[in-house]
Amino acid sequence: MSTTPAQPVTRPGGRTARTRAAVRDATLAELAAHGHRGLTVEGVAERSGVHKTTVYRRWGGVDGLIVDALDLAADDDWQPADTGTFAGDCRALADAVRRSFADRTEGAASTAIVAAAFQSTRAADALRKFYADRHQRSEVVVDRAVARGELPAETDAAAIVRAVVAPLYHRLFVTREPIDERVTEHAAAAAVAAALAGVFAQT
């Protein structure tokens, strides 16, 4: 389970759903292997076993393949880990991001999707939707902390879940510095401390 775009998910469904999943898996594998610029309909067709003309007809092209891979993620059952404490949950959220990008294949595919969003408005829109969904699901971490009385009810959960993971993405894609467990721990602990200090309180 992952907070990042490139985690293949097994889905039930008929032939259409299986084809869609196969094309999505092939898209992620091609992105991991060749990057955003190396993604081709031909490569996805060959890897998925779905005929090239079918891929063109149903997905249009590489942008459509990326968009559909992101859209499909909305159907998965990803939920943040429930560790029993707010600090533990935030740490688990940050750690999920760190581990996703440490995974060679998943990290490369997710990175390629983030890169694609710089070049394609459609990919950017799909990525925005993907993360909006992931972050909304992550807000349960804050909801549980509120229910336990760790945080006041009027807390900006959206800001907190973004604060937890932002330092990791900043290093990955802007400063291009390595991320390790210390960075992950700092990121989570800083968000927790800020939340407890009332920075994210809504009035």
* Interface residue list for its own copies (CB under 8 A): 35-37, 111, 114-115, 117-119, 124, 127-128, 131-132, 135, 156, 159, 162-163, 165-167, 169-171, 173-177, 183, 186-187, 189-191, 193-194, 196-200
Q: Which CB sits closer to its own copies, 132 or 153?
A: 132
Distance between CA atoms of 130 and 172, rounded to whole angstroms? 18
**What's the min distance (Å) between Cβ of 133 and its own copies?**
11
Residue 108 C-beta: closest distance to its own copies, Å: 11
For its own copies, give the closer residue by CB, 49 or 198: 198
CB atoms within 10 A of CB 127: 19
Q: Which is nearer to its own copies, 33 or 190 (CB)?
A: 190
* Minimum separation from the CB atom of position 182 to its own copies (A): 9
Closest C-alpha to 151, from 198, 109, 83: 198
**Pick 5 or 64: Cβ nearer its own copies:** 5
Q: How far is the CB of 116 from its own copies (least distance, A)?
A: 9
CB of 191 to its own copies, least distance (A): 7
Is the CB of 48 or the CB of 184 nearer to its own copies? 184
DSSP string computed for the chain: --SSTT--------HHHHHHHHHHHHHHHHHHHHTTTT--HHHHHHHHT--HHHHHHHH-SHHHHHHHHHHHHTTS-------SSHHHHHHHHHHHHHHHHHSHHHHHHHHHHHHHHHH-HHHHHHHHHHHHHHHHHHTHHHHHHHHTTSS-SSB-HHHHHHHHHHHHHHIIIII-----HHHHHHHHHHHHHHHHTTTTB--
Considering the complex, what minimum distance in angstroms separates the CB of residue 50 from its own copies? 28
Residue 58 or 162 with smaller CB distance to its own copies: 162
